[in-house]
Amino acid sequence: MTNTASLEADYFGLESRWLETAPGENTHYHDLGDGVPVVFLHGSGAGVSAAANWWLNLPTLAKGVRTIAIDLIGFGQTQVPDDVQYGIREWGDHVLRVLDGLGLEKAWLVGNSLGGWVAMQLAIDHPERVEGVVSMGTGGAPRKTAALSSHAKPDVTPAGIRAVLEDFVVDPTLVTDQLVDARYNAALVPNAPERFASVIAARERDRSDMPLTDADLSALPMPVLLIHGREDSVIPPERSWRLAGLIPDVELHLFANCGHWSQVECADRFNTVVGDYLAARTSSGA
């Protein structure tokens, strides 16, 4: 483990694991609990990692299911070869390599923002590998306005990370100095600014070139839970209302007084909603 991963672990309190998922690709992840496997996919903010998205959720949800949270290629501490390519399907393929490496035929997917988009696209492309999806503030739609355009211009500095995180929440006091420092330390990997610029460019390219389509969403065969913060200014809640009108087996939960970071800002309520949903939809949820 690198020193920066140690600094991150000190704050988030999650044990690091590593899995060789391809030549030159060493995936950093966290694995807690037993039972039905549930893979957690983070969003794409500066200094993002699996731990930085899910540290308030994994220990609680792991009481009922097996929680596996990965650093997607291009993010966190996952190591990648020099010729790595990024994009929605490339991130989905990385998830499949993790499932294969862990010997898992199928899993639930829980995704936040970009992670929700990756989860939905993977469910569309490989429904045989996905038991169900939980998605918060789902990405994958063309950007309609210039609002929050700074999110497409990476600023991997403490000030830049703070600015993005404060856009994620209604209550800015949640963005503490310790949290900003932990996110910044998580971003201190070789060539971090260049790598982050590459993954954000790939995200913006695919937002235009291959957004989630109505036809594909309408054909999803697995259960889907959508979660959204009513005050989300990054991806407005109308996004989830629209998805809920397309997906056949869908439930939608809207949190009041909550922004884009529902799993952090409403952690206790989030854990209850997701835990109850998984318990109702799986044989080993508690």
Q: How confident is the model at residue 160 (pLDDT cuts 50, 70, 90)?
A: confident
- Say if 79 falls within a structural domain: yes
Write out pLDDT tens, residues 225-256: 999 999 999 999 999 999 999 999 999 999 99
CATH number at residue 193: 3.40.50.1820
pLDDT of residue 147: 45
- Residues 226 and 137: their CA atoms lie apart, in Å, by 8
- Residues 150 and 244: their CA atoms lie apart, in Å, by 28
Residue 189 has pLDDT above 90, yes or no: no
Residue 10 has pLDDT above 60, yes or no: yes
Q: How confident is the model at residue 192 (pLDDT cuts 50, 70, 90)?
A: confident
- Say if 94 falls within a structural domain: yes
- Residues 54 and 262: their CA atoms lie apart, in Å, by 11
- What is the residue-averaged pLDDT of the chain? 90
Of 30-44, 187-201, 257-271, minimum mean pLDDT range: 187-201
pLDDT of residue 47: 79
Residue range of the domain that includes 184: 3-281
pTM of the model: 0.92
- Say if 286 falls within a structural domain: no
Of 27-31, 159-163, 217-221, minimum mean pLDDT range: 159-163
Catalytic residue positions, numbered = 113, 232, 260
- Mean pLDDT score, 43-72: 94
Domain count of the chain? 1
Q: How confident is the model at residue 144 (pLDDT cuts 50, 70, 90)?
A: low
Q: How confident is the model at residue 6 (pLDDT cuts 50, 70, 90)?
A: very low
